[in-house]
Chain A
């Protein structure tokens, strides 16, 4: 540490800021065995700017009971600057510290071209959700028995598996898909990776092709998750923390789990493109391990569909999100 600092100071005119409290706008809190990133200040600014700091909070960013219509009153396309501007601000949040609004922002982003009041209302609902959760952030902590007990307390025994235990694996992931829930009958990809009890990367995205079976959409999600896992493994390898064991990815679709291990059901899966079978190759090479989990344990749900409040809160907690302690 010291000699790196010295070498920087030797080369350039530098000032030492000590332990960071803010890195490129992200607030960081560091304690032994504990690290928390949040953007409370940014959210506060955003809410005040929109005059919604005192609004009534809601429990989840999108209402699962309301179906959003692409164009309910046949509006003409317009250049709505205010919608796109607010959406962009929320997108920045969703990409940096708030995976819980990721799906809602992604979904509403597809209506930017043809707007109606309904979409604008939904976007404001995200702001109302942020009112109640404005100081939430992602907490990373050292794994110990206590955390596990806490999870037991919350209802379900969690099987951590090999992912969280030894040093073999610093991170593990989950991959989920919602079949044909976008407006053009495309599916939604949602995957994320957790390290030290908190989310490090996540993605919520409408898939590019229309698929025939839900298994197929899950299989495509696995491919996306696999690409991310591969990159993360390389990154950690480069930083000097090589991953020995295979990276575990949880999927709640039995079909895609089986497909990723062996080429079965050829009659039903012969149309799946070859590139999507790359997953199988890596599973055989023990770089990746696809495990099945029950639906309730599938944290990826939060990235693929609007959820009712209890489920939303549960998955949010499992991504390491919560208020400051």
Chain B
């Protein structure tokens, strides 16, 4: 309301004014802990803290998830995690995801990490420990062995439009899950990966990728291409292909 220009430069007058400048572009990383309190316009600090505690108990993805291999190693259920890691390595091996090669001088190796998720049932009890090896796709740079990443995902409307047909037309609904779906995609570029974190063979060799593991930017697109190619077979009718595609993309 008609204030002088200088006032627009004013910094935030909440707890830590030196932390955030409104004029600066919004940062998305590294600000979170303080940002949470700064952003609260009404100063219900007590309520926020209370909510955080409750979130730990009830959230769909609870806060007790692990962030790194070291955390997993020091956690109580390491035996289960270790078992799950072995399973994942076995799956990667079966799929022929990579081959070990000597590192070339100019090869850029992309790091990887393990993700740990506890699958819970409706009563919030842990039923399964799931581990996945993911590439750090953020290490990839656009233009350098990375051009197209487009991959279609089913829209909620499409799913609902299909489900609405079920009672009227008397259709059957089935759900299928493709195990390690992305690992079916075949990589077009030559990309090197470091050996799995904590589970390498101790040599300086690196993994030359053949399939597209999770976390790589182009994985979704390559998997989608596989879906397209395999669906070209004449023995599946066109309408069925469409339905199947919607289903497979949805799940």
Contacts A33-B167, A79-B39 given; indicate if A51 touches B60 (C-beta within 8 A): no
- State whether the Cβ of B166 lies closer than 8 Å to any Cβ in chain A: yes
Q: Which segment, of A11-19, A258-266, A288-296, faces chain B?
A: A11-19
Partner of A240, one of B59, B170, B239: B239
Residue pair A15, B165 in contact (C-beta under 8 Å): no
Q: Does A219 contact B (CB under 8 A)?
A: no
In the complex, A238 has a CB within 8 A of chain B: yes
Chain B interface size, under 10 / 10 to 19 / 20 to 34 / 35 or more: 35 or more
B72-124 contacts to A, CB under 8 A, are: 122
For A51, A171, A239, the residue with the greatest tally of chain B CB atoms inside 10 Å of its CB is A239
Check: A4 CB closer than 8 A to any chain B CB: yes
**DSSP class of A's interface residues: helix, strand, loop or mixed?**
mixed
Choose one: B1, B39, B160; the contact of A200 (CB below 8 Å).
B160
Q: Please, how many angstroms separate the alpha-carbon atoms of A74 and B161 in the complex?
A: 44
A140 within 8 A of B: yes
Contacts of B40 in A (CB 8 A): 80-82
Q: Which residues of A contact B22 (CB under 8 A)?
A: 77
Residues of B within 8 A of A16 (CB): 174-176
B156: A residues at CB distance < 8 A: 95-96
Query: What is the CA–CA distance of A170 and B168 in the complex, to the nearest angstrom?
Result: 9
Knowing A5-B176, A74-B1, A196-B168 are in contact, say whether A49-B55 is a contact too (CB < 8 A). yes
- In angstroms, how far is the closest chain A Cβ from the Cβ of B127? 14
Q: Which of A3, A26, A51, A141 makes the CB contact (< 8 A) with B54?
A: A51
Residues on A with beta carbons closer than 8 Å to the beta carbon of B60: 42, 45
When the two chains form their complex, are residues B236 and A82 in contact, meaning their CB atoms are under 8 A apart? no
Given the known interface contacts A4-B236, A240-B239, the answer about A120 and B42 at a Cβ–Cβ threshold of 8 Å is yes
Residue on A with the closest CB to B38? A79
Bound Cα distance A4, B231 (Å): 10
| Contact indicator B161/A232 (Cβ below 8 Å) | yes
A115: Cβ under 8 A from any B Cβ: yes
Interface flags for B148-167 (1: CB within 8 Å of A; 0: not) read 00000000111111111111
Contact yes or no, A45 B162, CB < 8 A: no
Nearest neighbor of B246 in chain A, beta-carbon distance: A239
Judge whether B230 and A11 touch: CB under 8 Å: yes
**Count of residues in A whose CB is under 8 Å from the partner chain:** 67
Q: How far is the CA of A68 from the CA of B53 in the complex (A)?
A: 32
* Bound: A235/B48 CA distance, A: 45
Q: How far is the CB of B199 from chain A (nearest CB, A)?
A: 22
Is B141 close to A, CB under 8 A? no
A18–B248 Cα gap in the complex (Å)? Answer: 14
CB neighbours (8 Å) of A7 from chain B are: 233, 235-236
Task: Give residues of chain A (183-204) contacting chain B, Cβ–Cβ below 8 Å.
Answer: 195-196, 198-201
Q: Does B144 contact A (CB under 8 A)?
A: no
- The answer to the question of A30 belonging to the interface, with a C-beta cut-off of 8 Å to chain B, is yes
Contact A195-B39, Cβ < 8 Å, known A17-B176, A28-B163: no
Q: Does B181 contact A (CB under 8 A)?
A: yes
Bound form: Cα–Cα A16–B176 in Å = 5
Task: Determine if A1 and B174 form an interchain contact, defined as CB atoms under 8 angstroms apart.
Answer: yes
Given the complex of chains A and B, what is the CA–CA distance between A79 and B38 in angstroms? 8
Are B177 and A4 in contact, CB atoms less than 8 angstroms apart? no
Pair B165/A241 contact, Cβ less than 8 Å: yes
Q: Is the beta-carbon distance between A236 and B167 smaller than 8 angstroms?
A: no
Tell me the complex Cα distance, A81–B36, Å: 7
Query: In this complex, which of B1, B22, B160, B170 has the most chain A Cβ atoms within 10 angstroms of its Cβ?
Result: B160
A residues lining the B interface (CB < 8 Å): 1, 3-5, 7-8, 11-20, 23-24, 26, 28, 30, 32-35, 37, 41-42, 45, 48-51, 74-75, 77-83, 95-96, 115, 117, 120, 138, 140-143, 170-171, 195-196, 198-201, 232, 235-236, 238-241
Closest 6 CB pairs of A and B: A81-B39, A20-B175, A240-B239, A195-B164, A17-B175, A13-B179
Q: List 22 A-B contacts (CB under 8 A).
A: A5-B176, A8-B244, A23-B175, A23-B251, A24-B250, A24-B251, A34-B167, A35-B163, A35-B164, A35-B167, A41-B122, A49-B51, A51-B47, A51-B50, A79-B39, A80-B40, A81-B36, A196-B164, A200-B160, A232-B161, A235-B161, A238-B242
